[in-house]
Amino acid sequence: MTELILIRHGETDWNRELRFQGQVDVPLNATGLEQARRVAQRLLAERFGVEHLVCSDLLRTRQTAEPAAQALLPHLSLDAVADPGLREQNFGIVDGLRVQDVKTEHAEAWERWVRFEADYGMPGGETTRQFHTRVMDAVQRIAQQYAGKTVLVVTHGGVLDMVWRTAQGLGLDGPRQSDIPNAGLNRVRVQGGAIEVLHWADTRHLQDLPAQPVYDQTKLVVR
């Protein structure tokens, strides 16, 4: 059994603008940097027993992981634990665009996207099924590499959605059903390929910070 403490990266300006960030290397904004500091404080104070750290290789996750690495594993090099398998979904031609821009510039792709079909991806990007396979391969690889340990995993909202769906036995069609706040704390156990959720979307360490931007996929579904 391996315990994973899963953290979505802190806030970016593109989160505020409701842009598709995908695999574009966007930095944290001031709020995101404070969220990252709060995550490190909480992990240190509550002594979750973190023994290892793995993060996506994108800047916003590395910036989120850095305070925790300094507090918990001061001799760790983030270069050594950056895993491209934990990257956000590749959204192809719409990476970097605001939702309204996608609706205007890529209307047909947007109409397909909001059906939330497992085998559709934005042109030049990954389908949800391809993304899910990549993410779960990475999660199982980490669980096996650090079997019996507690691992801090800093990643992206889409990655956490894939973990949630797998743990709950949900399909890949349809919009996101779980809350996945920036810098929220999520704990799961991985054993024999199965995932058990212990805690999800815990933001007690962020309560006095500004309200987070919310991208609610359920409001976009074409019925």
Catalytic residues: 9, 88
Amino acid at 193: G
Amino acid at 27: P
* Coil, helix or strand at residue 162: helix
Q: Cβ distance 106 to 79 under 8 Å?
A: no
Q: Is 216 annotated as a binding residue?
A: no
Q: Is 60 annotated as a binding residue?
A: yes
Q: Cβ distance 222 to 114 under 8 Å?
A: yes
Listed residue (218, 214, 221) closest to 18, CA to CA: 214
Q: Is 9 annotated as a binding residue?
A: yes
Q: Is 184 annotated as a binding residue?
A: no
Q: Is 15 annotated as a binding residue?
A: yes
Q: Is 113 annotated as a binding residue?
A: no
DSSP for 27-90, written as a single string? PB-HHHHHHHHHHHHHHHHHT----EEEE-SSHHHHHHHHHHHHHH-TT--HHHHB-GGGSPPP
DSSP lists the bridge partners of residue 196 as 189
* Coil, helix or strand at residue 153: strand
Q: Cβ distance 33 to 67 under 8 Å?
A: no
Q: Is 42 annotated as a binding residue?
A: no
User: CA triplet 137, 150, 157: central angle to 5 degrees?
Assistant: 50
Q: Is 13 annotated as a binding residue?
A: yes
Q: Is 10 annotated as a binding residue?
A: yes
Going by the annotation, the residues of the binding site are 8-15, 60
Going by the annotation, the residues of the binding site for substrate are 8-15, 60
